[in-house]
Amino acid sequence: MTDYMAQMLNELMGSQRDAMPGESIHDENLKKSYQSSDRKGKMGFEQRFLDRIRRIHEDVHRKIQKHEDRLSVTQRESKSAEETFGEKIQENEQRREQLAKKVEDLMDEAAVQGAKGNVEAAQSAVEKADKAKFEMEELLTELTNLRTEKERAISMEENVTAGNRQMQVCQICGCFMLQNDAPQRVDDHMTGKLHIAYQQIADTIQVLEQTIEELKQKRMEERFSRRQERSRSRSNERKRSERSEHRRDHKDHRDRDRDHHHRHRDHKDHREHREHREHRDRGDRHRSDRDRRRH
């Protein structure tokens, strides 16, 4: 375990988590100008930033899973005395039960063979039963020794683990921590730059996802509103065009009526003028004929 912990020193200290300097310009005045601009949320900056911190968040979760797997393997390889000796004692007891059943069956067989007068077969069964009983006695001695060794190993293990506590993985930053560590050291870890940075990343992802979703919803509503406005504008334009066309048709109709009226009046005036002229001509001819008759 000591060699294993020495291997993880850099990861415990967090020296492998430093982020490299970014290439972008970080200017507070530009940030404030963008925050107050009507182009905020429309340039894609928020989505690009979210994609980047998501990659960091996914990296640390892969690191957490990797560390948990390594701890699991280490803890599996170092079984406790209770577990190790418990398995051996269970195997011993199962073997003795099997031998006891074997002795019982052999003694029954010896009795059957003796009743049949088969002395050799009966004697063979008894000898096998005696051999199984001897093996049972050896297993019983082994069981006593196992129980003694188990108690001694448990006592030694308690002394060792008192100064060598189990490790766990922080679910925020992926660092190794001692289980049931001193409150001050736990507090130091929780207020460390690395832990705070990964916590801020996780919190920012939640806030940004909600903000971007709200911006998308707002843009959809604005597009829908613009489509409705264009539709109303086209409808109003169509109505104005129809009214204008109606007025033109009405004006053309009135013009035609007026022209017809003028033509009718001109025709009437022309007819009256012609009739007046014809009447006057008849009167002139009549006077002329009368004057000729007088002479």
Q: Residue for token digits 């002139």?
A: 284
What is the predicted pLDDT for the residue at 283? 66
Q: What pLDDT does 288 receive?
A: 67
- Are the C-beta atoms of 113 and 125 separated by less than 8 Å? yes
pTM of this structure: 0.46
What does the domain layout of the chain look like in residue ranges?
42-189
The per-residue pLDDT for range 221-270, each reduced to its tens digit, is: 888 888 888 888 887 788 777 777 777 766 666 767 666 666 666 666 66
Q: How far apart, in whole angstroms, are the C-alpha atoms of residue 46 and residue 66? A: 30
With 70 as the cut, is the pLDDT of residue 160 above it?
no
* 126: nearest Cα among 105, 141, 107, 148: 107
Structure tokens at 160: 């060792």
Query: Residue 222 has which token pair?
Result: 């604005």
Beta bridge partners of 167: 178
What pLDDT is recorded for position 80? Answer: 65
Read off the tokens for 93: 């007891």
- Residue 200 binned pLDDT confidence (cut-offs 50, 70, 90): very high
Residue with more model confidence, 182 or 153:
182
> Could you report the per-residue pLDDT of 20-59, keeping only the tens digit for each?
566 777 788 888 888 888 888 778 888 888 999 999 999 9
Give the torsion sign (CA, 246, 248, 253, 258).
positive
Closest CA to 60 of 179, 194, 166, 210: 194
Q: With bands split at pLDDT 50, 70 and 90, how would you rate the model's confidence at 76?
A: low
Average pLDDT, the chain: 78
21, 183 contact by CB (below 8 A): no
Q: Read off the pLDDT of each residue in 63-80 and give the average, rounded to a whole number.
A: 72
Query: Interior CA angle at 168 toward 166 and 172, to 5°?
Result: 165
